[in-house]
Amino acid sequence: MKLQYIAAAVALATGMGAANAALERGSNGNGSLIMIAYDNRGGTTTAGVFDLGLSINDLIGATGNGTAIDAASLSETVGTMKWDFINNTITLDGTVTSFGGTNDWTGAWNTLLANSDAADLRFVVTGFDTTGFGTNKRSIVTGVQDPLPSQLFNSTTNASNIQQIAAQNDIFTPQNSRGTHTTVANGAYTFTAADGATTRANGYAMAGDAFGNNWRNFNNLGGETFANMATYLWAVDGTAAERILAYEVTLDVANGVLSAAVPTPAVPEPSTYALVIAGLAVAGIAARRRKA
């Protein structure tokens, strides 16, 4: 399986080109996968947008949606993905790889930390397709692992919500003219109070009239997560379908690493096995006594 993962990574790295130098909003049916990390509590207005070098099609396939995922896509072939914002590397199952060229996130990451309270830092991972799935727009969103029935997108109302989330084109244009988004394939930019008014035109991704309001109002899965806590990747679409991608997503602030990993089933401690064996032994003795 490891060889399959490496082959998939190489194929994707070869297939992605310099076109990924700019964030893709999703109007081509294949939006960029991005992380938005922010602190907007207690008067702080800081938000960084990090291009993760992947697209919706890379993650779930060109025909992937809230019902079915392409078998050859990363979410079906790769167990762990990591983005190191300090060392500017991407790894798939431990193998460092490159998607479309150079990564340069370090400056934006340092700016984010310098202008936020680590305890208040939250993040989302997302990507949009505003046209490529017909009228039923696709989105990659983060959310809880076990949502309540009311949180799922399996209703007409919630399908409309997904279409609203996928229509967030307005955060990409101002970002594409800032930071290392303008110079490398996979860049980043962090808005701070020094940039002026907290509007999307100034690069503030969480501006009330842009991404921020629609994400909070229409992502019923609860996609905002405090750093160092786990969230999960979902594929959702405007047919009111949703599918969890099995990736547990965490942002390790101390080490500057975003991870998406399929959780490993817990291995029982030796003491647990001992208790089970002892219990079976007791049950066996009791059964023999009843027969006697």
| pLDDT score at 148 | 72
Dihedral pair phi/psi, residue 39, rounded to 5°: -135, 110
Q: Which two tokens stand for residue 32?
A: 């960029």
**Rounded distance between C-alpha atoms, residue 46 and residue 25, angstroms:** 21
**What is the domain partition of the chain in residue ranges?**
2-266
Neighbours of 93 (CB within 10 A): 19
Low-confidence stretches of the chain (pLDDT < 50) are 1-10, 12-20, 265-269, 272-273, 276
Residue with tokens 């109007």: 27
- DSSP letter at 100 equals S
- DSSP letter at 166 equals T
| pLDDT score at 277 | 55
Residue 133 identity? F
Q: Torsion angle of alpha carbons 37, 41, 44, 48, nearest 10°? A: 10
Q: Which two tokens stand for residue 120?
A: 């208040």
Neighbours of 280 (CB within 10 A): 10
pTM score of the predicted model = 0.83
Q: Which two tokens stand for residue 241?
A: 């379908």
Residue whose C-alpha is closest to residue 41's, from 132, 121, 141 = 121
Dihedral pair phi/psi, residue 13, rounded to 5°: -65, -35
Q: Render pLDDT for 103-159 as a digit per residue (tens, 0 to 9).
A: 999 999 999 999 999 889 999 999 988 886 666 788 898 888 887 766 777 667 777
